[in-house]
Amino acid sequence: MDNGLVDWPADVASKYVKAGAWRDENLYEWLVRGADCYPESLICDGERQLTRPEFVAVVDRMANALHRAGVRAGEHVVLQMSNQISGLACLFACARTGVVPLLAIPQLGTHELLSFIDRTGATTLVATPDCLETCRTAGAARPAVHRVLDTSALLGGPDTEPEPGFPRTAPDSVAALLVSGGTTGLPKIVPEVHRAWLYLGRCVADRCRFDPRSVYLIAMPLAHGWAMCNLLAVLDAGGSLVISPTPAPTVAFALIARYGVTRTGLNPSLAALWADAAVGTPHDISSLRTALIGGSTPAAEVLIGFGKALNCGVHQGFGMTEGLCGIQPPDLPQDRMLADQGVPLSALDELLVIDEAGDPVGPGEVGQLLTRGPYTIRGYYGEDPNNSTVFTADGWYMTGDLVRLDADGAVSFEGRIKNQINRGGEKVSEREVEELLRRHPGIRDVAVVGAPDDRFGEAVVAFVVGEDLSQSDLGRFLVAAGAARYKIPTTVHPLAEIPLTPVGRVNKLELRRLAASPNLIGDDRE
């Protein structure tokens, strides 16, 4: 068993097995079985079009290449990948060989990659070609990193028969490590166990009513939990998968027209962008039947506008990298579709909504959401100090989200109690950005908060005590520090001092009020 995994108690695991949720199958075995059952379904990325059996052959080739490069079962790798078949093949090749990949989106910089290397003990970095430079820079800064591999080059090597002797990867072992935006510093690491992850995929497929006729377009980053659970779902149902290299509507619309895409999923900011671009598009996007909108709570006008502009159905969903997901059925009437963000996927999901004293609240009352279940983790990976404060002794994950839970189990999100910014679906830790900015020689003190933003849901706003620094000054500094670009403050406000509460803590409530004020003057120059 992986020492970094906080496992489910034996009696709880037994319950999930007996209920049929957890099966004796790993990710690679599931992939091979699906290829046998649905040999004509496709996996495409705009450049390559493969049948499911052909994709399995690519995965086997990648597994052999990883083995030849010296990567062995039980090792950790950091896999930074954009939306390409070669990156996806590497993920499944890791399942074939017993290697544990940490999935990193392309937007992450060396600052984040170095923390992943340090926390997982990874000695290998694997990257799609567009991410190679960042991985090489990170690898050069850590002597323990032995190799930086290119997914395309790995597939370009000699084509050999599958290596004999790959040990079977246990279904109760870690399939991949995902990244969750934290509130207390660097991103947290979420372990996805094979049998739990596959169960999540089956649940999504059932709720979304995927079938072998479904053609799903992935426009969100493949390394996100959002994209992966939908990928697992559509493949489990026998459907075809189209991977868009970018969410840009011009590219995505061309793929919809080319492959007859019927389903997709977007965050609210992309949904609004697509709705604008759909007017007058030269591409025939009439095959699109339904879009799932989630990642942050969308405005009603975004949902309605998207459905009208693309002439398709819309349903809402929510999910957290740590586990719990809820999705509306795809055929709700508009008034019901606008009423909440969805019902949890599994009858085995447990939800508890509590007040500030820790007592349960009644239906329809606002409180913090706690959850546990067959695809919700019991702790972050490794010796994460957050585990003692975010997870209870009896396994509840304290989400930090404020919700209403109605009598039918539907969840409505009302806000959060944690210091995290949701910028277009990417989670930004206020504390992490503050710690990076405090390294700037011209900053004496700084506080970062989120503010409402029409396009991305929330903007990153910095209040700075010190020199007169512009938004572009802070942007250049953060990029030089290796931070992801989506963490750069969009607006900078100078202050004489940071406001404090009566007990001497930073008054984030006052700063959020200031950040949302239309009368506040700041610098938002790019």
Are 314 and 307 a contacting pair, CB within 8 Å?
yes
Closest Cα to residue 265, out of 277, 284, 252?
252
Which domains, ranges and CATH numbers included, belong to the chain?
Answer: 27-35+50-169 (3.40.50.980), 420-516 (3.30.300.30)
**Distance between CA 372 and CA 398 in Å, rounded?**
9
**Distance between CA 120 and CA 463 in Å, rounded?**
34
Tally of CB atoms within 10 A around 165:
7
Give the predicted TM-score (pTM) of the model: 0.86
Full 3-state SS string of 153-207? HHHCCCCCCCCCCCCCCCCCCEEEEEEECCCCCCCEEEEEEHHHHHHHHHHHHHH
Closest Cα to residue 57, out of 20, 26, 96, 18?
96
- pLDDT tens by residue, the chain, 526 residues: 678 999 999 999 999 999 999 999 999 999 999 999 999 999 999 889 999 999 999 999 999 999 999 999 999 999 999 999 999 999 999 999 999 999 999 999 999 999 999 999 999 999 999 999 999 999 999 999 999 999 999 998 776 665 667 999 999 999 999 998 755 567 899 999 999 999 999 999 999 999 999 999 999 999 999 999 999 999 999 999 999 999 999 999 999 999 999 999 998 889 989 999 999 999 999 999 999 999 888 889 899 999 999 999 999 999 999 999 999 999 999 999 999 999 999 999 999 999 988 999 999 998 999 999 999 999 999 988 889 999 999 999 999 898 999 988 999 988 777 778 888 888 888 888 988 998 999 998 899 999 988 888 899 999 999 999 999 999 999 999 999 999 999 999 999 988 876 545 688 888 988 998 876 655 554 4
The letter for the amino acid at 444 is R
Closest Cα to residue 106, out of 89, 85, 87?
87
Closest Cα to residue 294, out of 275, 317, 328, 271?
317
Are 328 and 338 a contacting pair, CB within 8 Å?
no
| Residue 357, token pair as written in the block | 């004293």
**Distance between CA 257 and CA 220 in Å, rounded?**
18
The count of C-alpha atoms lying within 13 angstroms of the C-alpha of 148, restricted to the half-sphere facing its C-beta, is 20
